[in-house]
Structure 1
């Protein structure tokens, strides 16, 4: 009979794949680096083939490691869902979740619906702030969990979703032909704003910020009014908007990573339960990998 895969080893394997580092993964799974290394050694022994190769200071997946990653994500996700569904613990208490307002519009209904069905006696406080403020609140103990736009400089995080950034304008507007190009974007520290500037400057396109706001509704209003061009993730495109591409003179934008961060000073069954529900609600990584394999 073939040996069964260990879910805990697979959870660690996913953390290494997401961070590219055994050290950063050890912080996510709350194990020592030597314990993480031993887990991966045993996983490779069980599989009978290597799943990592060294690339400087980073750990890259081998071809077999890439094949395993999709299965590992699904196994870990199903394991968490099964434990939550079959748990006899009737959770009560209070948990604090932070996320930017645009993520709240798109993702919060499913997260809260899924979580409340399983835990009707839990009070969830939701705080909507920009990513930098959420990270500060989390580190200061003001939040238990935060859904953020992730960049590598922010360090270890659980990546739960990936989306393509797109240039958008109003369906019936020609504002994208103006020179300089009027933009509606987030505040100066916004990663999407920096990406837009970098791409426009790379092609020598002059531009100016006409509207700046942390509020996605305000940015969307400027776009829909035909006053400016903006950048949005694919899932944020609204009726009345159209996507601009290379044929319109707009260079491709990078994809964004959406991550789940936990309070480093606080942990509980309640926090872990909400975290599992968030991952299950937002995860589009394994789905994309499954489609690519078909």
Structure 2
């Protein structure tokens, strides 16, 4: 039977991948550089593959190294969750988190599932409201953490993921061919709405706003019913939607970044733990199954996550 992988070696491997340097990784894992080099030689011998290539002063992952990185993160995460499940002194308490419903359907199952398995004694209260409302809740102290649309100008949040914002319509209703485009948008304060209106004016496309709502459910319903065109982040796409691109006469829109905003309560340990879970969850989140199954993904342009990938324009979302 093959010997199991060494978790200490995997932890060091991740540190090197994240820092790009054996020296900085050695500082993070509190080992000497020679010890780190020895660990990586043994790990390469164990998997039978070269994991790093020297690129100037940095150490770049090989293709096999990239492949191992995903497994290594999952193994260490599972190790932490296993230990937490049997830890009588595990975190305990109540934490309040907020997110717009654009992000809730896609991100919350992963975040809630992982965090609850690792911290079964922590109660989560979840609020779904627009970013502007959530920022105000954070300032008033009524939320501990908020997943918001990141804004450089406003500050106060840490960018944890990047998503393309896409023009979408119903796959069964060619609304994009109309002379006057029927649109469904968030409220006038919504940055995606402002970006879309600027783009429509630059494209010299006439449009009429038929539906306005802060609820993503309302906007997606209008799109799926064939009543309007809208703009949504990739995470909010649904089966039955068509992505509109330049071939359809729609210019690309600015990407949106998703940020993590912290409150000022005294539960620092729990908040830090949940923030870490959120960052790891969003960094490792895969393409939704109903997108992956269609196979029509362009991996060379745009972003799926902070490192990511993007859908091809004209892509039609298949069924579940």
Structure-2-length-normalised TM-score:
0.65
Change (3 A) 1:81 1:266: farther
Relative distance call for 1:65 and 1:138 in structure 2 (3 A) is farther
Q: Aligned in 2, Cα 1:207/1:286: closer, same or farther, shift over 3 Å?
A: closer
The change in CA–CA distance for 1:84 and 1:140 in structure 2 (over 3 A counts) is farther
Contact 2:168–2:243 at 8 Å: present in 1 too? yes
1:252 aligns with 2:252: yes
SS at match of 2:153: helix
In structure 1, the residue matched to 2:227 is: 227
Classify the secondary structure of the residue corresponding to 1:153.
Answer: coil
For residues 123 and 260 of structure 1, what CA distance do their matches in structure 2 show?
19
Using the size of structure 1 for normalisation, the TM-score is 0.70
Q: 1:156 to 1:84 in 2, by over 3 A?
A: farther
Partner of 1:106: 106
In the alignment, what sits opposite 2:291? none
Q: Deviations over 1:180-201 (max 9, x none)?
A: 2111110011111111112112
- CA offsets per residue over residues 59-91 of structure 1, 9 Å max, x none? xxxx968979xx9x9999998886666454322
Report the CA distance shift for 1:109/1:184 in structure 2 as closer, same or farther (over 3 A). Answer: same
Ranges in structure 1 where 5+ consecutive residues have no aligned partner:
14-38, 48-62
Distance 1:267 1:122, change over 3 A: closer
Judging by fraction of residues, say which structure has more helix.
1
- Counterparts of 1:8-47 in structure 2 under 5 Å? none
RMSD after superposition: 3.6
Contact 1:81-1:276 within 8 A present in 2 as well: no
Tell me the CA shift for residue 179 of structure 1. 2.6
- Measure the CA separation in 1 of the matches of 2:210 and 2:110: 34
Residue 164 of structure 2 is matched in structure 1 by: 164
Higher RCO, Cα 8 Å, sep 6+: 1
Contact 2:161 2:305 in 1 (8 A): no
Tell me if the contact between 1:185 and 1:209 (Cα under 8 Å) persists in the aligned partners: yes
Q: What is the number of equivalent residue pairs in this alignment?
A: 243
Question: What are the superposed Cα offsets for residues 3-33 of structure 1, whole Å, 9 maximum, x if unpaired?
Answer: x99x99x99x8xxxxxxxxxxxxxxxxxxxx
Partner of 1:29: none
Which residue pairs with 2:147 in the alignment? 147
2-structure distance, mates of 1:281, 1:204: 40
1:280 and 1:109 map into 2 onto residues whose CA distance is 14
Shift of 1:269: 1.2
Is there any run of 5+ residues in structure 2 with no aligned partner, and where? 1-10, 34-55, 285-302, 310-320
Q: Using the TM superposition, give the Cα deviation of residue 277 of structure 1 relative to its aligned residue in structure 2, in angstroms.
A: 1.2
Residue in 2 aligned with 1:24? none
Distance 1:160 1:261 in 2: 10
Closer, same or farther: CA 66–194 of 1 in aligned 2, 3 Å: farther
Instruction: Give the distance between the partners of 2:79 and 2:183, measured in 1 at CA.
Output: 46
Which of the pair has more CA radius of gyration? 2
| Equivalence for 1:214 | 214
Distance change >3 Å, CA 152–CA 82, structure 1 → 2: farther
Corresponding residue for residue 277 of structure 2: 277
- Is the CA contact (8 Å cut-off) linking 1:84 and 1:273 kept in structure 2? no
Residue of structure 2 equivalent to 1:60: none
The answer as to 2:199 corresponding to 1:202 is no
Q: Which residue of 2 aligns with 1:116?
A: 116
| Preserved CA contact (<8 Å) 2:282 2:305 | no
Q: Quick check: 1:144–1:266 contact (8 Å CA) kept in 2?
A: no
Cα deviation for residue 234 of structure 1 reads 1.5
